[in-house]
């Protein structure tokens, strides 16, 4: 890797972990219905307002040894993990897309899906605001791919309509309404082939992880699909094209 590429990846990583610390705020506050922008960052245990040096992504957690300066209570390892994960995801996307418009759309989509995954795993709810955000991203991205609009329009319906039928036929038990909307928004972003692949993979991942956990009694029958949908969408973003080209 030459020095310019190293600088580019370094910049993407720093931006990624910085946005990652905002994602932590979203994960914490969206389910509680709090504002993600107007309330200053504070310790969740003692409420102490955080200094700038307590807010440096990943590093602050390491320097503070995972404890609040004020009340010494433990800070969840989720904070540095989400920050680092977002930095790594953005670098992987940059490696894949390079400095193209699609990169600028894929980053916020994956970050939003990361937030959605953690919230869904915890609360079994996909926040409507995240689905709306993904939908707007898909619509804006479409402006750069206008000549291929039919495949993206078809993507909006390809998975969401069958899931909507499951939702209606099962009386709301088979799947969540949030999952249906998420698949519509991501379908508009990915196009019909990739969203079908993404959903198929999500089911595979979900089954592969959930069945063994159910067998050893660590998980109930219910399953938060969100994290698996994110995994499927991410795989389709990165490798969907090459997989589909090999199949057809
Ligand atoms: Zn504290």
Centre of ligand 1 from the C-alpha of residue 68, in Å: 5
Tell me the pLDDT band of 220, cut-offs 50, 70 and 90: low
Centre of ligand 1 from the C-alpha of residue 108, in Å: 30
Centre of ligand 1 from the C-alpha of residue 81, in Å: 19
Q: How many CA atoms lie within 13 A of 98 on its CB side?
A: 1
C-alpha closest to that of 229 among 157, 193, 178, 192: 178
The predicted model scores a pTM of 0.93
Does the pLDDT at position 184 exceed 80? yes
Does the pLDDT at position 219 exceed 80? no
Average pLDDT over residues 109-127: 95
Centre of ligand 1 from the C-alpha of residue 35, in Å: 20
Q: Where are the domains of the chain?
A: 1-85, 100-248
Centre of ligand 1 from the C-alpha of residue 79, in Å: 15
Does the pLDDT at position 221 exceed 70? no
Centre of ligand 1 from the C-alpha of residue 61, in Å: 13
Share of the chain above pLDDT 90, in %: 78
- 63-94 pLDDT per residue, tens: 999 999 999 999 999 999 999 999 999 999 99
Average pLDDT over residues 140-144: 96
Centre of ligand 1 from the C-alpha of residue 26, in Å: 19
Does the pLDDT at position 129 exceed 90? yes
Cα 246 to Cα 151, 215, 243: the distances in Å are 19, 35, 5
Centre of ligand 1 from the C-alpha of residue 38, in Å: 20
Centre of ligand 1 from the C-alpha of residue 74, in Å: 8
C-alpha closest to that of 233 among 104, 91, 89, 98: 89
């Amino acid at each position: 890797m030459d020095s310019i590429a190293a600088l580019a990846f370094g910049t993407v990583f720093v931006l990624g972990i910085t946005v990652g610390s905002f994602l932590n705020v979203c994960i914490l506050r969206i389910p509680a219905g709090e504002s993600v922008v107007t309330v200053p960052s504070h310790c969740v245990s003692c409420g102490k307002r955080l200094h700038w040096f307590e807010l440096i992504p990943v590093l602050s957690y390491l320097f503070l040894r995972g404890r609040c300066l004020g009340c010494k209570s433990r800070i969840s390892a989720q904070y540095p993990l989400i920050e680092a994960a977002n930095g790594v995801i953005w670098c992987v996307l940059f490696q894949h897309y390079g400095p193209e418009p699609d990169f600028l759309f894929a980053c916020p989509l994956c970050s939003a899906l990361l937030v959605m995954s953690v919230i869904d795993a915890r609360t079994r709810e996909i926040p409507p605001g995240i689905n709306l955000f993904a939908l707007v991203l898909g619509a804006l991205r479409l402006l750069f791919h206008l000549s291929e609009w039919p495949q993206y329009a078809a993507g909006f319906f390809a998975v969401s309509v069958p899931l909507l039928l499951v939702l209606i036929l099962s009386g709301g038990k088979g799947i969540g309404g949030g999952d249906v909307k998420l698949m519509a928004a991501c379908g508009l972003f990915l196009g019909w082939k990739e969203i079908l692949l993404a959903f198929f993979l999500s089911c595979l991942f979900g089954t592969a992880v959930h069945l063994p956990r159910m067998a050893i009694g660590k998980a109930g029958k219910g399953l938060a699909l969100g994290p698996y949908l994110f995994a499927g969408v991410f795989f389709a973003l990165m490798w969907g094209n090459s997989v589909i080209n090999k199949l057809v």
